Amino acid sequence: MKKRWLVAIAYLILIHSLSSFSLGNSEIKIFYGFDKIIHILEYFVLTILFWKPICNIFSQTAINTISFGIFLFSILNGFLDEYHQGFVYGRDSTYGDFLADVIGSAFGVLYLRFRNKNTAYSETKFGEILESN
């Protein structure tokens, strides 16, 4: 249990730490939109890493509430990360990057919600789902 929290928090710290480094003119552009794909993957993983630890704490809460809470948590971190980048020399804050963060978080929640089709639209409590897995 503690290991999952440590991994999730370490990943969150990594995201925010990497935003502090100036890219200057050395930014590598592999192809147009590559940075958006990185943002989507980054926040997809963030959402997945926080899913299980938060579900264990709020095991008696409805699935929809937990899903929405994790989604809000992820996009809030995306917003804070983009806001912070606006103050770092050589970095910029863009709406496109924030939108990619939102899309990645949404994909993460959707993936986790629909990987078990039996509970996708159910109002069951997470405790019941965790016991079945």
Domain assignment present for 63 = yes
Task: Please give the angle made by the CA atoms of 63, 13 and 73, to the nearest 5 degrees.
Answer: 25
| Nearest C-alpha neighbor of 19 from the set 92, 109, 125, 123 | 92
User: Residue 20: which pLDDT band, with cuts at 50, 70 and 90?
Assistant: confident
Q: For residue 10, give both structure tokens.
A: 């370490």
What pLDDT is recorded for position 117? Answer: 54
What pLDDT is recorded for position 115? Answer: 78
Domain assignment present for 24 = no
- Cα separation, 64 vs 126, whole angstroms: 10
- Cα separation, 72 vs 93, whole angstroms: 19
pLDDT tens figures, 48-83: 999 989 988 888 888 888 899 999 999 999 999 999
SS3 2: helix
Listed in sequence order, the residues at least 6 apart from 113 whose beta carbon sits closer than 8 Å to its beta carbon are 63, 67, 119, 120
- Reported residue count of the chain is 133
Question: Domain count of the chain?
Answer: 1
Domain assignment present for 14 = no
Domain assignment present for 46 = yes
pLDDT tens figures, 74-119: 999 999 999 988 888 878 788 989 999 999 999 999 998 887 555 4
Asked if the model's pLDDT at residue 121 lies above 50, the reply is: no
Which residue would you say has higher pLDDT here, 112 or 31? 112
Residue ranges making up the domain that contains 89:
32-132
CA dihedral 63, 69, 74, 80 (to 10 degrees): 180
Residue pointed to by tokens 């939102």: 102
What pLDDT is recorded for position 22? Answer: 73
The backbone torsions φ and ψ at residue 25, rounded to the nearest 5 degrees and listed phi first, read -95, 5
